[in-house]
Structure 1
Amino acid sequence: MAESRRDSPLVDPQYSPQSRAERLIAAARVVLAAFAFLGIWLDPSEPTRYVRTAYALLAVYIGYALLAAFLVWRSAAPPGRQTFAMHAFDLAVFSLFMFFTQGPTSPFFVFFVFSLACGTLRWQWRGTLWTAAATLALFLGMGVYAAQVIGDPAFELNRFIVRSAYLAVVAALLAYLGLYEERRRGEISRLATWPLGAPQEVRSLAREMLEHAAAVLGAPRALLAWEEPEEPGLRLACWSGGELQWSRESPGALQPLVAEPLAGTDLLCRDIRAPRPAVFHTSDQGFRRWEGRPLHPDLAARFGVGAVLALGLKGEGFEGRLFALDKAGMTSDDLVLGGIVARQVVARLDRFYLLQRLQQAAATEERVRLARDLHDGVLQSLTGAALQLETASHLLEEDPGGARQRLAEVQRLIAAEQRDLRSFVQQLKPAPLAPFEVEASLVARLKELAHRMERQWGLRVALDVQPIDGGISEGLSHEIYRMVHEALINTARHAGASTGRVEIAGRDDQVRITVADDGHGFPFHGRYDHAA
């Protein structure tokens, strides 16, 4: 479920920030109504007819504008379904106000332009088209009424035509603006939902990245070419129609991918098959034009390249190119968007290779730890068992009872090592224990270790394990056990001790282990602290 949410768009590309749009419209409505009232007050010759009706209508609209602004700015949510009613009410009032103030020649023609802007803010290009259809129909109706019905002498056909064309041009510009903004929101939404999964294979990663990159850039095909310094040879992954083509080239093949003058730049070419293709590329001074074949001929021929957008890739351990193929009508805007997409691809590949290195390092570290634990644990115990068996072999003829006792000790030793191995294998499993369970298991294992040291080496061990605040992890428990085990083995084998004491205490996110014995030590005197 979480993965599906991640891969789906964060928002509908058709969505526009409604609350901010409504607040802007409400504020503009108040300003427009106030200036309309000011205009009538400064020039009372307008309106010449329906004076009382026009003043009353404007006064009512000013009150409505103030109330709407108060409610919209106070509310945290947009009006919702009431938005359409408010838009229709604005159109109706504007039409009546123009009708009462000289109709198609009214100085308040700007109200219709305001309606177009409101439609664009609310519903983007769709709102612009529907509002334009309504305003043009109303305006044309006023013109027909003024010219044919009442024969208004103030009606001017040329002025009416210019205003109609002006309204249509403004509507077209606003519709294109709404369409452009919707497309930009879609691109941003797709960039924000870039896949974040961690495929185990580079082919799966390439398919995922190329499919999403092609969708963001609007290209039918996408090609990824890159090379790792540790593994010479170009890797090629081409996504087209949901299928991925994969190949690996010999070292030096298809090099350089782009022409030498274009190295280190992002470039686009609308048709590389032209006799002298025009190439636009990035530079420190902005976009520049260059003429010539931008791609390696064999690369262009193999993938049938026509239009191409080539983006440079340079990560921590690789470099290459991302190609968006066959997109018609590319512009410099595609270079800007492509640069963002290229950075996303670099980040994904860097993350993939970093995870690979971390997995390899973790596996190597685990192998080293396993070898150390087997050496310090099982091998040491087998050495002790071998000594016990050798002693038992000497006692078989002279003291059969003593020999049997030694063999019993070896049997107990092997049984104890079996338990240790089971515990070790359990730690390799993914299911962790609770902290208190880990601590209890550690105490039990240390007690068993103390008994074994006494039976095997004749070393009596006293344990003092204090409760550790917050508990301990399985990994830390394992390390504590191995450190105590190694210390006691060294005490028994090299110090000639008969008694030992182990103290374990934890405080302030630290664990203190003290191992003392009554044997002889080394010439070193003092204290050696690994934390120093």
Structure 2
Amino acid sequence: MLALSFLLALWLEPSVPVRGALAGYILVNLYLLWTAALMVVAWKSWWYDFRLATLAQAIDIGVFLGAVYFTESRYSEFQNPFLAFAAFLLVSAMVRWNWRASAITAIALLCANLAVGLALYEFGFDIDLFRFSRRVVYMILLSCILIWLSLSRGGGRTIIFPEPPGLLGERWEPLLNSALSLAAQVLAARQVALAFAGSEEPWVEIHHLSSEGVKVERHGPENFGEELTTLRSTAIFNVARKRQLTFGGPAVEAVTGDVESRLAEMMGANEGLIVPIQSVTGSGHLLAWDCATLGPDDLAIMHAMAEQIGHALDREAMASLARRTAETGVRHAVARDLHDSVVQFLAGTLFRLEALRRWIRDGHDPEGEIDSIKNALRREQGHLRLLIERLRRGEEGDRRTEIADEMRDLLAEAGAHWHIETELVVPDHPQPVSVQLSHEIRQLVREGIANAVRHGKCRKVRVELADADGMLNLAIIDDGIGFPQLPDPLRPRSISERVDALGGRFAMHSDGRGARLEIAIRSGGTI
């Protein structure tokens, strides 16, 4: 378009060129043919578009200097194509390369233009040095503006990877399919494939997008070896001609030689673009071929898009891990609650039923004990319903309760259930705790009492509660046989897990006259 406008300007203004009119017309026409050829090359071959860029820039600078020669005079204030051509050259360097190329082009233009202008003046050509110098200043200002624009333009157009809808942590397949669709859209590719090797599985999954939809195949690692896990650059390739344009950083490089891509060979892709994808769960290659057009600009775009895809896969893996961790935590919490309540209560009920059998054999009236067991079952049924309701509704906010009152009811119930004596020692001042923490302490005490009766053969259990420095100190003391004196005694699993979940401390002591469990928990702690 610039060459056409120059040719039109020469035709409309007979006084231009001011010298060498025939040569000037020939130069502009030849330049017009050259630019038309470059358009065809850019459309047909990404390889020659890149390889001819430096030559094209040099020819453009040469034509610029020739235009200055043919049009520069003291009467050619606006006929000279100086600023338009200079702007074109600087923008061309910015688009093809980067701000450094724009700066080098600007320096080359200034030096060459000054040399040509001064030479024309020395040889006696009709040139106004004042006007010539003024245009040089304009060019310096224009160069500074365009170099600044080149520095601030970033990486060109930006592609945002659209993550598919769905529950985070369960979108692995939709994410890969979305990556295929976006690559096909950006590159106008009729076929796209993604080969991904997981870090935990030996298999390689290939997702292939074509006009027939997405097909998934699984291959053994022997088909790819270490290719998918080895770092490689983003590249446009042509297998038959052994050409590649690679992008691994700030610059694009032209490489000749065999194209090593097992994925391209497997898919029968002769020319296309391949980009590596890295994730914490594995790595792979994204291949696009049968593209309408390919160019060096696509390398930076696809490189950035591959990073977005990798980050999306990382987020998906983290969400899946968090979901599994949460599910595991819920299962363990429910298991602890069931063990410390239902299981221990059933064990105590069996203990009481066995005692009831002996009571009946001795000729005593069982009605009172049966009523007592029925009442205990009703209370346990109520506790179980509360547990189920708690699981359904979640935590109960910031509601608080008096722990001493909770412990008195619990010890009275446990004493009747296990036929033991219980004692509660609490300070004179109130000890309010959250409902969640109250539930945890109740479960700890129930488990401790059950263990003391079943394993320690105790007759009495004393529970002590104290608070100091934001910590709630709980002690469960029994008069049973204690536990064996071992260098590393086995800690009760349920109690240990519950205390660890609360971020507390747990210690056990035994001296042959019973056992003592010491637990310290933050008084404001929550589950």
Normalising by structure 1, report the TM-score: 0.55
Does residue 1:491 correspond to 2:452, yes or no? yes
Q: 1:256 to 1:486 in 2, by over 3 A?
A: closer
Match of 1:460 among 422, 441, 449: 422
Q: 2:275 aligns with which of 287, 311, 333?
A: 311
Q: Distance in 1 between matches of 2:210 and 2:75?
A: 58
Pairing 1:503–2:465 present = yes
Task: Report the more deviating stretch, 481-490 or 221-230.
Answer: 221-230
Deviation of 1:455 (Å):
1.2
Query: Per the alignment, in what secondary structure is the counterpart of residue 231 of structure 1?
Result: coil
Partner of 2:312: 348
| Structure 1: 5+ residue stretches without partners | 1-101, 121-154
- Alignment correspondent of 1:330: 295
Alignment of 1:49-128 (within 5 A): 105=77
Within 2, Cα distance between the matches of 1:311 and 1:482?
Answer: 56
Work out the CA distance in 2 between the residues paired with 1:365 and 1:199. 17
Q: Is the Cα contact below 8 Å between 1:264 and 1:312 reproduced in 2?
A: yes
Q: Residue 338 of structure 1: SS of its match in structure 2?
A: helix
Distance (whole Å) between structure 1 residues aligned to residue 157 and residue 404 of structure 2: 60
Aligned to 1:289: 255
Shift of 1:212: 5.0
Alpha carbons of structure 1 residues 256 and 490: separation in structure 2 relative to 1, 3 Å: closer
Q: Deviations over 1:408-446 (max 9, x none)?
A: 121122222212222322333353211225x46x76754
Q: Could you say what the CA RMSD is over the residues aligned between the two structures, in angstroms?
A: 5.2
Higher helix share: 1
Q: Normalized per residue, which structure has more strand?
A: 2
Contact kept, 8 Å, 1:497 with 1:519, in 2: the verdict is: yes
| Alignment correspondent of 1:412 | 375
Match of 1:383 among 324, 344, 347: 347
Structure 2, unaligned runs of 5 or more: 1-73, 92-125, 486-509, 522-527
Counterpart CA distance in 2 for 1:505 and 1:478 is 17
What secondary structure sits across from 1:249 in the alignment? Answer: strand
Q: Equivalents in 2 of 1:338, 1:236: separation in Å?
A: 19
Whether 1:514 and 2:475 are equivalent positions in the alignment is yes
Q: CA distance change for structure 1 residues 103 and 462 in 2, over 3 Å: closer, same or farther?
A: farther
**Given that residues 235 and 248 in structure 1 are in contact (C-alpha distance below 8 angstroms), is that contact kept between their aligned partners in structure 2?**
yes
Query: How far off is 1:379 after superposition?
Result: 2.0
- Whichever residue aligns with residue 378 of structure 1, its letter is V
Is the 1:310–1:324 contact (alpha carbons within 8 Å) kept by the matching residues of 2?
yes
1:226 maps onto 2:193 in alignment: no
The partner residue of 2:359 within 384, 395, 408 is 395
Contact 1:223/1:236 (<8 A) preserved: yes
Alpha-carbon offset, residue 498 of structure 1? 3.2
C-alpha deviation, 1:203, in angstroms: 0.9
Contact persistence 2:237–2:243 (CA under 8 A): yes
8 Å CA contact 1:454–1:461 kept in 2: the answer is no
Q: What CA deviation, in whole Å up to 9, does each residue of 1:50-86 have, x standing for no partner?
A: xxxxxxxxxxxxxxxxxxxxxxxxxxxxxxxxxxxxx
The match for 2:389 among 426, 431, 454 is 426
Change in Cα spacing, 1:528 to 1:504, as seen in structure 2 (3 Å) is closer
In 1, distance between residues paired with 2:298 and 2:175? 23
Change (3 A) 1:255 1:374: same
Q: Percent identity?
A: 19
Using the alignment, how far apart are the partners of 2:388 and 2:306 within structure 1? Answer: 45
Structure 1 residue 314, shift from structure 2 partner: 3.7
Q: CA separation of 1:210/1:447 partners in 2, compared to 1, >3 Å: closer, same or farther?
A: farther
Q: Distance in 2 between matches of 1:322 and 1:443?
A: 64
**Paired residues, what number?**
372
Structure 1 residues 347 and 425: CA distance shift in structure 2, 3 A: same
Q: Distance in 2 between matches of 1:496 and 1:354?
A: 49
Structure 2: which amino acid aligns with 1:405? G
Partner of residue 207 from structure 1, selected from 177, 184, 188? 177
Whether 2:233 is the aligned partner of 1:266: answer yes
Q: Is the Cα–Cα contact under 8 Å of residues 195 and 209 in structure 1 kept in the other structure?
A: no
SS in 2 for 1:223: strand
Asked if the contact 2:244/2:256 (under 8 Å) is kept, the reply is yes
